[in-house]
Structures are given as structure tokens and as C-alpha cells.
């Protein structure tokens, strides 16, 4: 959109102030919990969107990196007493390294079969962690020892502190996305997403670009894994490598606007708010209602507005306010 | 030792017949319509629930309810192809992948809401009977399921080889554009392919019911196997999918027997990853369009 430079900074500053003030204004822990979920899944969506949105490498296996991040920091903390702040970065590095062989295998396939291969890798990792009972507690998982207020161990008494941590993560994710969008890499990614063969024909080193963006995407997703484990004080293979994480990462990006900076955030706000409303109306007694509604929203977006809510908003904006057709 | 080995191979082969029905459906849709149906497993689940309700409400044997589940799912396939899939056919992968994926999520969670997560079983007169041949144990229900699955696969093969519609489907899978130039109506061919694939999934569901529990997530077990088999058996190839499915069944059963009860899936995924590592060129490195 043609927002001028100064206006953009103004909006960004207003947004930042609102986001920073929010947990002070709204003190209900139920609401803050929802805010944290929204920020967390926005961040995971932003990480997914780098690879799935811009380069259209549609992974449904990002739980692999979420889980690796969660397990790396938890193993370091519980077994060796190392701070999760260090563990978080270590988890990111582990995920980055793991993305190399996983990418080497999965990028041999394209389109839907790439998607299937990524599902398989996340499942294999979950099965492996179910088997490792000696240092990773097997299927029972483990609870994180509660130290009360210990900011150096990423443990806080106030829920709002977790809010600020995940807000910071999201800001980093958006900043990285913005930098990539404006760099040569962003253009290469979009070219690969449009038509990989054509991109290679004009000299884009597609395998290298895909490998690099997969590493960045995996690194960021792993940070989310560490945060989530610290937030819920518990880890087991089923939650760490949950297929739902992989699904939601892709869903929020597609519903919001695939391959756009703010798409994952907008998608998460819609989906998580819907889910919270459903829960408060119906209670959590009706199993499956959340994903039923998610899948209906996803189908509606794909059939009627494949550019997502951002594309929809941009169309409406141009038609009504500017009386000009949207960009072709 | 040899008896254990032979028993594991037989167990795997028998369940592999069911995997084959699911994989043939996946590969048929991929070959003709050029999309991957992520919801294929959910149609196995629906086939199971159809047989379950016919058995509990009307006392109809699951094997007889095949004549209900197959046509119902064929019609469902034609409708889904016509109203949903047709709208996303094009060069873009994203809508195709996520439309069938959304369909899978929808069916799975709807059945979770309607039927709850409980396991449903149907007990038939032959559910517990088995033949003993020289120390080997062959459960009758699984043997019937295998035999019917192979017969249906054979019928499909004959249909694809000898009928005009079958030839049109094979032509469309080899080159859609040229097939259309030769006067083949793509919408009809796609609808029949999608319907046939779903009918096979429904058949798999009915055949499973005498010896397998129905629950909302049951399809996921079968669809993962099918995806691996379809990748291994070369995308879009019906015979390849059949052979690969039987091999997958045997590999899974050997994994359970010799590595551990929860190792079946690791063996199967391991096979997929090994195939990708060492024989990727024949396995979809080339785009099927």
C-alpha cells in the first residue's frame, strides 16, 4: 500500500504503544492468556510464512522445529541447570542444523509431496522422542521445576511478563521478515514461489535459497517451542511435536494473507478470537468444534479469497475509499 | 524363527490389501485430476461408520454393506469434485493442497463432534475365526478383506484397460491437454476418477469393520501408509501403488514383529526417507504436469 514513510512510522509507534500498554489496561488473566496465544501463533505463523508464504514451500511439519526447540532448552535446563534463555538460542541452532538433512530429503519432492514428506519428518521426530526414555522422559514427558519468580530462568510470576517476552519474539520475527522482503533474497523467494523452474532459468540458485530460508524459518519456530514449554511448565512428545502446531502455522498465514508481512498476525487474531469466543459460548465440552470452524474458514478463504484477509481488505479499501481498482 | 517370519509376512500382506485400496484411490486422483487428496483417509473412516451404523441399526453384515458404502461414497466424490475441487484446478499448488486438507480437518472434527472419540466395533460370526495351516494363523475376516480388495483392484485394472471411460481416464492422466483435444470431457473424467477413488476408500472402510475399530482418527493411519506407498510406487501409477502397498504392509508387520510393537510407523517412514535419499528421480522429482 502507498503509505508514506512518516505515516508508516507513526502507525508503527501507535501500534507499539498499544501493544506495550495492553497488559496494564486489561488485567484479566484469561484475556492475557488469549493475547499470549495470539502473539505466539502469530510468531509461529511469521516463521512459517517466510518459507511457506514467500517461497511457497508448503510445509506441514513445522512442529518438528517447535519440538526440537522445546526439547533442547528443556533438556539443558532440567538435566544441566542451564538457563532457557541460552537453551532457546541453542534450540534454534539445533533446529537450524536439523533443517539441513530434513530439507535435503524433502526438497527432492515438490508440491503436495513435499508437504507429505514434511508431515512424515515431524512424525518421525515425535516417535524418536517417545523412544528416548533415558534423557528425554519418553511418553510421560516431564514438568519444568517451578522456581517462582526467576527471570534469568525465563520464569515469571506475572503473566504479563510472558506477554512481553512473546511480544519481543514477534517483533523480531516481523523485523526479520521485513528485512528479507526488502532484500534480494525476498525477490528470489517470491520468484521461486511463482515458478521454481523459471526462477532457476534466470539464474536464481533455488536449492541454496530454499535451504537458507528453511534454516531461518526453523530457527524462529524453535524459539517458539522453548517459550511455549516455559509458559506451560510441561513437555511431552505429543504436545511438543503436535500436528496442530504445524496446521496452525500454515492456517494463520493462509487465512490472513499468504506471503505478506502482517498476514500471519491478522489470521491469528481472527482464528484465535473465534476459538476463544466458541470456547466461552459452548465450553470446552464439545470436542472438535474449534478445528471444524477453522477448516470452514480455511475453505471459505481458499474458494473465495485466496489472497486472504489482507487481500480482501486491500480490495475493499481500494474500491470504496479510493474508488480505484486494486493493484492488478 | 521361519514360522514367525512367515506369520509376520502373512499379517502384513493381508493388511497391505486394505492399504492398496486407499493408495490406488490416492494415485488415481493424482494421476487423473493432478491433485493429492489429503482427505482420502477420512473417507475410509466414513465407510467404516456407514458399515457400523448399518450393522448396529439393521443388523447388516459389514461385507454386505459394501454395496451401500461404495455407491454413497462414489456420489460424494462426484459432488465434491464438481463443487469444490473443480474450482481450484490450476497451476497453483496452495489452494489444491489446503482445500483437500481443510476437507480432511472438517470431516475428522465433524465426526468427532457427532460420534465422539469412542472406538466402535462390529462383531460378526467370522470376526474370531481363523484357519490354521501348518502352524500359521490366518484370520478369516482379514483374508476375506484381502481377497475382496484384490478383486476390486483387478476390476479397476480391467475397467481402465478395456472400457472407453477407462481409456479416457488413462489418456487424461498421461496428457490432459492432448486428451481434451481428442474430445475427452475432462469434467466427466475427473468426476468419475474422484468418485471411483472415494468408492475404493469406502470399500476399504467396510472391509475393515469386522476386525478393526472405527474412530474419528482412524483414517490417518491409512492415509499416511497410502502416501508413502504412492511415493514409492511412482506417483500416478496404479500397479505401482498396489505393489508398494503390499510391501508397506509387510514392512510394517516385520517392524512390529522384530523391532517392537510401536515401531511399525518408524519402519514405514524410514522406508520413505530412504527412498527419497537414494531413488528420488523416479519418485516425483519430475512434476506430474
Beta bridge partners of B138: B131
Q: In chain A, what residues touch B262 (CB-CB under 8 Å)?
A: 127, 130-131
Closest CA to A113 of B96, B91, B56: B96
pTM tops 0.90: no
Q: What is the mean pLDDT of residues B51-74?
A: 94
Interface touch A58/B102, C-beta < 8 Å: no
Q: Are B90 and A302 in contact (CB under 8 A)?
A: no
Calpha distance B218→B214 (Å, rounded)? 6
Is residue B224 within 8 angstroms of chain A, CB to CB?
yes
Q: Over 60: is that where the pLDDT of A152 sits? A: yes
Calpha distance B246→A183 (Å, rounded)? 49
Interface touch A288/B216, C-beta < 8 Å: yes
Pick from A125-139, A243-257, A301-315, B269-283 the range whose average pLDDT is largest.
A243-257
Q: How much of chain A, in percent, has pLDDT values that exceed 90?
A: 56
Q: How, if at all, do strands B130-133 and A234-235 pair?
A: unpaired
DSSP type of residue B102:
H
Interface touch A306/B93, C-beta < 8 Å: no
Is residue B284 within 8 angstroms of chain A, CB to CB?
yes
Identity of the residue in A105, A115, A254 whose CB atom sits nearest the CB atom of B273: A105
Calpha distance B71→B135 (Å, rounded)? 40
Give the DSSP H or E segment for A23: helix A5-25
Q: What is the mean pLDDT of residues A69-84?
A: 93
Beta bridge partners of A234: A143
Interface touch B99/A302, C-beta < 8 Å: yes
Is residue A277 within 8 angstroms of chain B, CB to CB?
no
Residue pLDDT, tens place only, A266-324: 999 999 999 888 888 876 666 788 889 999 999 999 998 888 888 888 888 888 776 55
Name the average pLDDT for chain A.
Answer: 89
Q: Over 70: is that where the pLDDT of B49 sits? A: yes
Is residue B274 within 8 angstroms of chain A, CB to CB?
no
Name the average pLDDT for chain B.
Answer: 87
Q: What is the mean pLDDT of residues B47-71?
A: 94
Is residue A111 within 8 angstroms of chain B, CB to CB?
yes
Lookup: cell for B84 = 469444490
Q: Which of A244-248, B65-69, B271-275, B280-284 has the lowest mean pLDDT?
A: B280-284
Is residue B117 within 8 angstroms of chain A, CB to CB?
yes
* Record: fold of A5-320: ABC transporter involved in vitamin B12 uptake, BtuC (1.10.3470)
| ipTM confidence | 0.86
Q: Over 50: is that where the pLDDT of B282 sits? A: no
Sign of CA dihedral B95, B99, B100, B104: positive
Q: Over 70: is that where the pLDDT of B286 sits? A: no
pLDDT level of residue B289 (50, 70, 90 thresholds): very low
Beta bridge partners of B133: B136
Per-residue DSSP letters for A179-196?
HHHHSHHHHHHHHHHH-H
Domains assigned to chain B: 2-117+125-278 (1.10.3470)
Q: Which residue of A has its CA nearest to B216?
A: A288
Q: Which residue blocks in chain B are alpha helix, DSSP H?
A: 2-33, 40-58, 66-83, 93-115, 140-162, 164-174, 176-181, 186-208, 218-232, 238-258, 264-278
Q: In chain A, what residues touch B108 (CB-CB under 8 Å)?
A: 288, 291
Identity of the residue in A108, A247, A299 whose CB atom sits nearest the CB atom of B280: A108
Residue pLDDT, tens place only, B233-270: 777 778 888 988 998 899 888 888 887 777 777 777 77
Calpha distance A116→A123 (Å, rounded)? 11
Comparing A280 with A179, which gets the higher pLDDT?
A179
**Cβ contacts of A208 within 8 Å, gap of 6 or more:** none
Is residue B221 within 8 angstroms of chain A, CB to CB?
no
Q: How much of chain A, in percent, has pLDDT values that exceed 70?
A: 95
Q: In chain B, what residues touch A109 (CB-CB under 8 Å)?
A: 231, 276, 280, 283-285
Residue pLDDT, tens place only, B97-131: 899 999 999 999 999 989 888 899 888 888 888 88
Q: Are A43 and A224 in contact (CB under 8 A)?
A: yes
Q: In chain B, what residues touch A247 (CB-CB under 8 Å)?
A: 105
Q: Over 80: is that where the pLDDT of A58 sits? A: yes
Is residue B110 within 8 angstroms of chain A, CB to CB?
yes
Give the pLDDT of residue A1. Answer: 46
Give the pLDDT of residue A138. Answer: 83
Is residue A97 within 8 angstroms of chain B, CB to CB?
no
Amino acid at each position: 500500500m502507498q503509505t508514506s514513510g512518516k505515516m508508516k512510522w507513526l502507525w508503527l509507534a501507535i501500534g507499539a504503544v498499544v501493544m506495550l500498554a495492553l497488559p496494564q489496561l486489561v488485567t484479566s488473566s484469561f484475556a492475557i492468556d488469549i493475547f499470549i496465544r495470539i502473539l505466539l501463533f502469530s510468531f509461529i505463523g511469521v516463521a512459517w510464512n517466510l518459507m511457506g508464504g514467500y517461497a511457497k514451500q508448503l510445509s506441514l511439519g513445522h512442529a518438528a522445529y517447535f519440538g526440537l526447540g522445546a526439547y533442547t532448552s528443556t533438556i539443558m535446563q532440567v538435566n544441566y541447570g542451564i538457563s532457557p534463555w541460552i537453551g532457546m538460542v541453542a534450540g534454534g541452532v539445533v533446529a537450524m542444523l536439523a533443517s539441513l538433512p530434513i530439507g535435503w530429503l524433502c526438497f527432492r519432492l515438490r508440491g503436495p509431496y513435499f508437504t507429505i514428506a514434511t508431515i512424515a519428518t515431524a512424525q518421525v521426530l515425535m516417535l524418536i522422542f517417545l523412544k528416548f526414555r533415558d534423557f528425554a522422559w519418553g511418553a510421560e514427558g516431564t514438568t519444568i521445576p517451578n522456581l517462582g519468580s526467576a527471570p534469568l530462568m525465563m520464569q515469571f510470576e506475572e503473566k504479563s511478563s510472558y506477554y512481553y517476552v512473546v511480544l519481543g519474539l514477534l517483533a523480531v520475527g516481523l523485523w526479520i521478515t521485513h528485512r528479507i522482503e526488502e532484500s534480494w533474497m525476498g525477490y528470489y523467494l517470491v520468484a521461486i514461489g511463482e515458478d521454481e523452474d523459471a526462477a532457476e532459468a534466470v539464474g536464481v540458485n533455488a536449492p541454496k535459497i530454499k535451504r537458507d530460508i528453511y534454516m531461518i524459518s526453523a530457527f524462529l519456530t524453535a524459539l517458539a517451542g522453548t517459550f511455549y514449554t516455559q509458559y506451560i511448565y510441561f513437555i511431552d512428545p505429543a504436545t511438543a511435536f503436535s500436528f496442530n502446531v504445524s496446521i496452525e502455522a500454515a492456517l494463520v498465514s493462509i487465512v490472513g494473507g499468504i506471503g505478506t508481512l502482517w498476514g500471519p498476525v491478522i489470521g491469528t487474531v481472527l482464528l484465535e478470537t473465534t476459538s476463544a469466543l466458541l470456547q466461552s459460548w459452548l465450553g470446552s465440552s464439545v470436542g472438535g468444534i474449534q478445528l471444524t470452524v477453522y477448516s470452514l474458514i480455511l475453505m471459505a478463504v481458499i474458494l473465495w479469497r485466496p489472497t486472504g484477509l489482507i487481500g480482501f481488505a486491500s480490495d475493499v479499501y481500494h474500491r470504496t475509499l479510493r474508488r480505484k481498482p486494486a493493484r492488478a | 524363527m521361519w514360522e514367525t517370519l512367515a506369520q509376520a509376512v502373512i499379517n502384513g500382506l493381508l493388511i497391505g490389501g486394505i492399504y492398496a485400496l486407499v493408495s490406488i484411490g490416492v494415485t488415481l486422483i493424482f494421476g487423473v485430476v493432478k491433485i493429492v487428496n489429503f482427505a482420502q483417509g477420512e473417507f475410509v473412516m466414513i465407510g467404516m461408520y456407514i458399515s457400523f451404523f448399518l450393522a448396529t441399526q439393521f443388523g447388516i453384515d459389514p461385507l454386505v454393506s459394501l454395496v451401500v458404502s461404495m455407491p454413497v461414497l462414489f456420489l460424494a466424490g462426484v459432488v465434491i469434485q464438481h463443487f469444490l475441487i473443480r474450482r481450484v484446478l490450476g497451476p497453483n499448488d496452495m489452494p489444491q493442497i489446503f482445500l483437500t486438507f481443510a476437507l480432511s480437518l472438517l470431516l475428522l472434527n465433524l465426526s468427532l463432534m457427532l460420534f465422539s472419540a469412542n472406538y466402535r466395533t462390529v462383531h460378526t460370526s467370522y470376526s474370531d475365526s481363523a484357519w490354521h495351516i501348518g502352524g500359521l494363523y490366518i484370520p478369516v475376516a482379514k483374508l476375506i478383506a484381502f481377497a475382496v480388495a484384490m478383486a476390486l483392484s483387478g476390476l479397476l485394472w480391467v475397467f481402465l484397460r478395456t472400457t472407453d471411460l477407462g481409456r479416457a481416464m488413462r489418456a487424461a492422466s498421461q496428457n490432459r491437454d492432448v486428451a481434451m483435444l481428442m474430445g475427452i470431457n475432462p469434467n466427466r473424467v475427473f468426476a468419475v476418477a474422484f468418485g471411483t477413488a472415494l468408492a475404493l476408500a469406502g470399500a476399504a472402510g467396510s472391509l475393515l469393520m469386522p476386525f478393526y475399530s472405527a474412530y474419528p482418527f482412524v483414517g490417518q493411519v491409512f492415509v499416511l501408509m497410502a502416501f508413502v506407498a504412492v511415493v514409492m510406487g511412482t506417483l500416478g501409477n496404479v500397479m505401482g501403488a498396489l505393489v508398494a502397498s503390499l510391501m508397506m504392509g509387510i514392512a510394517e508387520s516385520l517392524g512390529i514383529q522384530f523391532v517392537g510393537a510401536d515401531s511399525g510407523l518408524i519402519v514405514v517412514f524410514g522406508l520413505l526417507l530412504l527412498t527419497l535419499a537414494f531413488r528420488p528421480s523416479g519418485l516425483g522429482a519430475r512434476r506430474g504436469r
